[in-house]
Amino acid sequence: MGLFDVKKSCEAGQVDMSRLPRHIAIIMDGNGRWAKQRGLPRTAGHKVGAEVFRRIAKYCKKLGVEYLTVYAFSTENWKRPQDEVNTIMGLLKQYMLEAIDSMEEEKIRLKFFGDMTALSPELQELVEKTNAISKHIDGVQANICLNYGGRDEILRAARAFAQQCAAGEKHPEELTEAAFGEYLFSAGVPDPELIIRPSGEVRLSNFLLWQCAYAEFYFCDTLWPDFSEETLDAAIIDYQKRDRRFGGVKK
């Protein structure tokens, strides 16, 4: 779906507030290309992209979406230039410091998915503090996937269950889809109904591989720094037109 289609979809109708997806996940893609188009360093795109995330999280709260999950930094992103990695980590630090003071007022609680052990001790401490404060916040839950990979998440979950079996604490026949979900970073969070990827790329890039089983996908050409409330509306309107059968047949 191109940008023209996104605009047309926006004009074609309104979001049905009674049929909102409970959980929306977004692959925040296109920061580097946005900056390059403007003759700016890639880091400039990440800075604008961080502001877009703040705005979209607030808009999800306004709409009544319960969960928003964003792909901020993958396990593969460490391969990027060091100055770009440093900028992303700096933006995350800045956001967490601001969020610690504003979460209660804004009613946006944060949770981090991923392997935090690779982060600096300072960032690990901030993640722990942010998670602790968020437990007492009643509002939209924004899940930030940081040093996250879908395959890594599944592998860690399988290992954790296998270790419990080896210790005699669990038996293989006890493992169900629901039980396995409790070993994932996303334990306690419902699977996303809608996964959005801007920037024109049409792939998941190792994002929420277990959780995406019955998600609806929405792709658009808009680069993440240009992603707006109207773009999100268009994605939701498109989602609400889908016939979700979960493998069955509509009667």
Active site residue 147: no
Q: Which two tokens stand for residue 100?
A: 């610690």
Whole-angstrom distance, CA of residue 48 vs CA of residue 239: 27
Single out the catalytic residue among 77, 115, 152, 221.
77
Q: Say what angle helices 229-240 and 42-63 make with each other, to 10 degrees.
A: 60
First to last CA, the chain: 29
Active site residue 29: yes
Q: In a 10 Å sphere around its CB, with 0-12 CB exposed, 13-18 middle and 19+ buried, how is residue 220 labelled?
A: buried
Task: Answer for the pair 105, 177: CB distance below 8 angstroms, yes or no.
Answer: no
**Would you give the DSSP letter of residue 149?**
-
Single out the catalytic residue among 5, 16, 29, 233.
29
Task: Answer for the pair 232, 226: CB distance below 8 angstroms, yes or no.
Answer: no
Nearest to 181 by CA among 244, 113, 116: 113
Task: Answer for the pair 91, 44: CB distance below 8 angstroms, yes or no.
Answer: no
Q: Catalytic positions, please?
A: 29, 77
